[in-house]
Amino acid sequence: MMPEGQGAPASPQAFRSSPDRGSSGPAACPPPQLPAPGSPESPAPRRGAIRASFPQKLAEALSSQYGLNVFVAGLLFLLAWAVHASGVGKSDLLCFLTALMLLQLLWMLWYVGRSSARRRLKDTHAGARWLRGSITLFAVITIILGCLKIGYFVGFSECLSATEGVFPVTHAVHTLLQVYFLWGHAKDIIQSFKTLERFGVIHSVFTNLLLWANSVLNESKHQLNEHKERLITLGFGNITIVLDDHTPPCNCTPPTLCSAISHGIYYLYPFNIEYQILASTMLYVLWKNIGRKVDSHQHQKMQFRSHGVTLGSVLGLAALAATIGVVVVYLIWIGRSKPRSESALLMFYLYAIILLILMGAAGLAGIRIHRLDEQSLDESKNPARKLDADLLVGTASGSWLISWGSILAILCAESRPPYTWYNLPYSILVVVEKYIQNLFIIESIHREPEKLSKDIRTLQVVTVCNGNATSLPSSCFESRPAAGDVAPQGSEMPHAANGNMCLGEVGSKEEQKSWEGALGPACHPRFLQGNAQRRVLRNIAAFLFLCNISLWIPPAFGCRPEYDNGLEEIVFGFEPWIIVVNLAMPFSIFYRMHAAASLFEVYCKI
Amino acid sequence: MMPEGQGAPASPQAFRSSPDRGSSGPAACPPPQLPAPGSPESPAPRRGAIRASFPQKLAEALSSQYGLNVFVAGLLFLLAWAVHASGVGKSDLLCFLTALMLLQLLWMLWYVGRSSARRRLKDTHAGARWLRGSITLFAVITIILGCLKIGYFVGFSECLSATEGVFPVTHAVHTLLQVYFLWGHAKDIIQSFKTLERFGVIHSVFTNLLLWANSVLNESKHQLNEHKERLITLGFGNITIVLDDHTPPCNCTPPTLCSAISHGIYYLYPFNIEYQILASTMLYVLWKNIGRKVDSHQHQKMQFRSHGVTLGSVLGLAALAATIGVVVVYLIWIGRSKPRSESALLMFYLYAIILLILMGAAGLAGIRIHRLDEQSLDESKNPARKLDADLLVGTASGSWLISWGSILAILCAESRPPYTWYNLPYSILVVVEKYIQNLFIIESIHREPEKLSKDIRTLQVVTVCNGNATSLPSSCFESRPAAGDVAPQGSEMPHAANGNMCLGEVGSKEEQKSWEGALGPACHPRFLQGNAQRRVLRNIAAFLFLCNISLWIPPAFGCRPEYDNGLEEIVFGFEPWIIVVNLAMPFSIFYRMHAAASLFEVYCKI
């Protein structure tokens, strides 16, 4: 949980200079630049460079520290409630969360009202349309969850405190307004260093994180209770089992309805959890973007095309169907009797091993194809992408923690039931598959959009391969958008024109040779296979996307062999292992949804 | 513990272009740049831009994921040992750590041997001399600790496994070679993307982190045992107390010597802990620097000057003396009897409250002085500095977790012994003081070295204030090193010359006006107070430095009121609170040492 609060948003200079570099080449000698008086950033940039009355670094540190303190205080409230601390009730916790949400509501209203007057710069990488779409979906389910909770409160209103009714109402309003806010403002690049904006955004980030932690805790308690009930049937009755039940001490008026609501709530929690974490990542990107200097147009629109991915989709959908089947059977069998439980575990391990092998192979193939393709990576600054990569590796660590725990337990256990031998390859494969998949995704999201670079390369190839080996001084090729640059959207043709203009210039013999060497592979027949490669990559992305959705389902809906196989609990002890799983599992679950989101982006980009 | 592994090392282009910007101005029209054939980076940079056979992002992800897996596996070994997992003994853990150290030893030998042949680029910000000095000091104590452990092994050799002897020997050798390695190579900027180098560095980072975690765990167990022994005297005997003692089950040959060694080991652990974490941060900076493009000279040498800081040093030394007195009295009084323990707590809280108020005031004064001073911040890329800022905020969160726990406990407790009322302001002050101090340090380390910018501003002021109001087009001022740039060391005069060359150029009336406005404050008498300001800042830094050293001592040597006051344990329960403290305390302790190191740097920079 280390804060990335201080993540240096790089030197503004680096960004200010990039449009220059984009159009250098023969035109590399611009007249001494005077600040354009009309541009929005020009008023006093020189003055700002000399007198920074409230420097960005300080504003960042101020707000990130405030946010961390809110978060830490909230975590302790959650801990206090989780361990039944004396004097800290559920209503205190809900009061605290409600207050945070109300504060955020006020701030969002202020921001929306204030923004309607002025136009802001936009980060086209942030808040992609599909991201906003999926957050809306999750938000709708969250609001349904809120309604169920209100129903639950009405049913048990005799013995529940008012806060348990106020909280879901506030939460529903908060969800509605937040989704509206994210639709309108997730791409904003706030240019004023006004304290109130920074504090508001970071407050929103950590409020959502706390709501996430709250949901995770509720879900974990529920899962743990179910697990404890099941555990006895597997023959591990010697573990002290105390159910941590929060059923209110009074009767609900229509009992069947109440029990239906209780069940419904727990099936909707996983979506609420995804909603909260997704909202906080989008808000975090908004926070990181505050004060950034970027060109207003720097991004190619991504398109979703569905043709040519039959194989990947069919395989992926088959995996999805298999998963749903396995989960249903697992949930029916587990905890009925010892042999039934063992069969359920065996079935789950076999299914997961096959799926993980396929996914690993697909990921390896994807990496191999990327390695064959000569293309430099786009390493320009991009908070949304950096966060994606960080989250992939960070949240995978949660699942690695559980897997290494299983591996260690299997190696050290004194007696091993037969199904544990399937646990060993399963745990190893979980580690390996995430390792491979992260590599594939990280490389893919750092690729330049295919179309742009292909166009330019084609031009180069035509120029060089025609036998017309006019030397190409390197300064000409500066006109090609370099790896670190993001080319303005409509600038492909001017670049090409620049390239041609350079052909007359003089260069040394050596350079020419190195150029031909570098471009040589592009003349190779392999270059013609570009479309086939792209189709294979798109199939891989589609397959992995559906597989990640599949693997999100089992842990989110209570199919958790890490609990049920019982071996780790014997080796580590019940309490320590439960703490490890409860801390790591939320990250592991989030990993799958996040990887799926990233793979969707990869798919659209190819 | 989120990995910063993916921290995008920004676009290489941004860095490559900075020398241009530094010397633009009238000379802003360089001839189309041909790659200089002699420079170390030139061989095939053009080719690299087109064909990146093994892209940096991928290499980073590969190695960081490997490191995280090693770390996670190691953490589970530690956990298994800590909870007395069945089948995992201390010798398994030590075997694992020894193997990691041996692997790192081999890698370091390979690297040192390979590096002797070639010269590498250096990052002058990384591995400062004082940093290497302090790591050497801590390493010496670590080696003494190793010798004591060998002595302990010899004494108990009858009943200890061989690994407990092999481990300290390996550790001593590892420490020796690592310090040699860090002296020679901490500043290296590895330019090849060779896998072996990345893997080696990240392996070293996480090996040191695991050794740190191992020491922390040993220290925590020891503190916890002492705490449990004391707890009874404060009247909290109702908590289940089981000592977690690891004394070997045989007799040591000279008993007095053995007990002396045991005690000695625990007094040396805090230094060993600092050594390990310091080494891993230096190695982490080395890892982040791999593949970075920087100018070879970009840093002013910092000088340590001791004159003019009498007040700060005297106050700081007084605080240090008071701390040592308080800690000694605390350790004698605590756990003797209930009134004695309460007096000890009362004394500690009063002392800490006074010290924290003074530190907070000093920090606020420092921030205020920075706000008065018109100077833009240096926001150029600098992994060492970014890590410093991240660590300050990240490790402060550990201490905030404990403080918010105390605050919550005080607010929610049902009965409160009188001394707890001192705990409330103490806890609040811990939060506030770290908040302020972080702001002060983060702003200070982002300031440009004073001398350089003062020189240039003086030139500007002379130019404008002379009444010789020749207009200064903004392009001239590009020659001043902008906020994002780090000027080459010896280039002050060329810049000045550029500035003068510009004086003949034509600019608009408006610009001239805005320039005079911007430079106006510099003509103000306040500008003359620069030296006084600097002296005040240096006093503040010296005072805070000594205070942070002071506040490192109590928790490192067993003076932990969070354990001893007992209130939090009643509210949260013994186990949960002990887990919170044991997880957060190492970061809280490290915070103090790290803040002291940063303040030392700030002091030298002012």
* Secondary structure string (H, E, C) spanning A198-244: HHHHHHHHHHHHHHHHHHHHHHHHHHHHHHHHHHHHHCCCCCCCCCC
- Residue whose tokens read 């959650």: A78
- Residue whose tokens read 């190195």: A514
Contact between A410 and A567 under an 8 Å Cβ cutoff? The reply is yes
Interface of A with B in 574-593 (CB under 8 A): 576, 579-580
Closest CA relative to residue B261, chosen from B274, B279, B248: B248
> H or E element: which one contains B10?
none
Burial class (CB within 10 angstroms; exposed 0-12, middle 13-18, buried 19+) of A547: buried
The pLDDT of residue A244: 66
Q: Report d(CA B129, CA B112) in Å as an integer.
A: 20
B478 contact residues in A (CB cutoff 8 A)? 33
Distance from CA of B575 to the nearest CA of A (A): 10
A77/B408 touch (CB, cutoff 8 Å), yes or no: yes
Q: Is A529 on the interface with B (CB under 8 A)?
A: no
Contact between B596 and B400 under an 8 Å Cβ cutoff? The reply is no
CA distances from B546 to B28, B351, B550 (A): 48, 15, 6
- Residue whose tokens read 């989101």: A597
Name every residue whose Cβ is closer than 8 Å to that of residue A536 and which is 6 or more positions away in sequence: A365, A369
Interface of B with A in 66-95 (CB under 8 A): 68-69, 72-73, 75-77, 79-80, 83-88, 92
B3/A61 touch (CB, cutoff 8 Å), yes or no: no
Dihedral (Cα; B567, B573, B577, B578), 10-degree rounding: 100
- Other residues' Cβ atoms within 10 Å of the Cβ of residue B100: 22
The pLDDT of residue A24: 35
Q: Is B112 on the interface with A (CB under 8 A)?
A: no
3-class secondary-structure state, position A377: strand
Can you spell out the DSSP letters for B543-558? HHHHHHHHHHHHHHTT
3-class secondary-structure state, position B105: helix
A602 contact residues in B (CB cutoff 8 A)? none
B414/A477 touch (CB, cutoff 8 Å), yes or no: no
The pLDDT of residue B299: 53
The pLDDT of residue A54: 63
Q: Report d(CA A282, CA A123) in Å as an integer.
A: 12
Q: Report d(CA B548, CA B437) in Å as an integer.
A: 10
Distance from CA of A52 to the nearest CA of B (A): 5
Strands A121-122 and B188-189: what pairing?
unpaired
CA nearest A393 in B: which residue? B65
Q: Report d(CA B379, CA A462) in Å as an integer.
A: 42
Q: Is A64 on the interface with B (CB under 8 A)?
A: yes
CA nearest B18 in A: which residue? A14
Cα B398–B401–B404 angle (5° rounding)?
150
Contact between A171 and A269 under an 8 Å Cβ cutoff? The reply is no
Q: Report d(CA B595, CA B395) in Å as an integer.
A: 10
The phi-psi region of residue B223 (left if phi > 0; otherwise alpha if psi is between -120 and 50; otherwise beta) is alpha
- Other residues' Cβ atoms within 10 Å of the Cβ of residue A461: 14
ipTM higher than 0.85?
no
Can you spell out the DSSP letters for A309-352? -HHHHHHHHHHHHHHHHHHHHHHHHTTT-HHHHHHHHHHHHHHH
CA nearest B77 in A: which residue? A408
Backbone angles phi, psi at A448, to 5 degrees: -70, 150
Q: Is A27 on the interface with B (CB under 8 A)?
A: no
pTM of the model: 0.77
The type of residue at A87 is: G
Q: Which two tokens stand for residue A259?
A: 């029990």
Beta bridge partners of A377: A447
B213 contact residues in A (CB cutoff 8 A)? none
Closest CA relative to residue B30, chosen from A14, A477, A24: A24
Q: Report d(CA A506, CA A483) in Å as an integer.
A: 25
Closest CA relative to residue A602, chosen from A540, A530, A550, A527: A540
Contact between A148 and A268 under an 8 Å Cβ cutoff? The reply is yes
3-class secondary-structure state, position A447: strand
Contact between A334 and A340 under an 8 Å Cβ cutoff? The reply is yes
Q: Report d(CA A215, CA A425) in Å as an integer.
A: 32
Q: Report d(CA A314, CA B285) in Å as an integer.
A: 46
Closest CA relative to residue A501, chosen from A535, A485, A528, A478: A478
**Which residue of B393, B475, B512 to mutate against A (max A Cβ within 10 Å)?**
B393
Closest CA relative to residue A457, chosen from B50, B13, B34: B50
B5/A517 touch (CB, cutoff 8 Å), yes or no: no
DSSP conformational letter for B447:
B
3-class secondary-structure state, position A122: strand
Beta bridge partners of B377: B447
3-class secondary-structure state, position A7: coil
> H or E element: which one contains B567?
helix B567-572
Size (chain B), residues? 606
Beta bridge partners of B121: B189
B9 contact residues in A (CB cutoff 8 A)? 379
Name every residue whose Cβ is closer than 8 Å to that of residue A558 and which is 6 or more positions away in sequence: A223, A226, A331
Distance from CA of A238 to the nearest CA of B (A): 15
Dihedral (Cα; B331, B336, B341, B343), 10-degree rounding: -90
- Other residues' Cβ atoms within 10 Å of the Cβ of residue A179: 20
Closest CA relative to residue A7, chosen from A195, A279, A238, A289: A289
Packed helices B574-605 and A56-82: angle between N→C axes, nearest 10 degrees: 170
A400 contact residues in B (CB cutoff 8 A)? 68-69, 72
Low-confidence ranges of chain A (pLDDT < 70): 1-54, 117-119, 192-194, 231-246, 294-304, 374-376, 448-529
Task: Outline where A373-491 has alpha helix (H).
Answer: 383-412, 420-445, 450-465, 474-477
Closest CA relative to residue A420, chosen from A224, A238, A234: A234
Backbone angles phi, psi at A167, to 5 degrees: -60, -55
3-class secondary-structure state, position B377: strand
Low-confidence ranges of chain B (pLDDT < 50): 1-52, 296-297, 452-528
The pLDDT of residue B242: 63
**What is the Cβ-side half-sphere exposure of residue A193, based on CA atoms within 13 angstroms?**
15
The type of residue at B353 is: I
Q: Is B528 on the interface with A (CB under 8 A)?
A: no
Q: Is B523 on the interface with A (CB under 8 A)?
A: no
The pLDDT of residue A118: 67
A13/B485 touch (CB, cutoff 8 Å), yes or no: yes
Give residue B401's Cα distance to chain centre: 19
Q: Report d(CA A238, CA A255) in Å as an integer.
A: 34
Distance from CA of B410 to the nearest CA of A (A): 10
Q: Report d(CA B20, CA B28) in Å as an integer.
A: 8
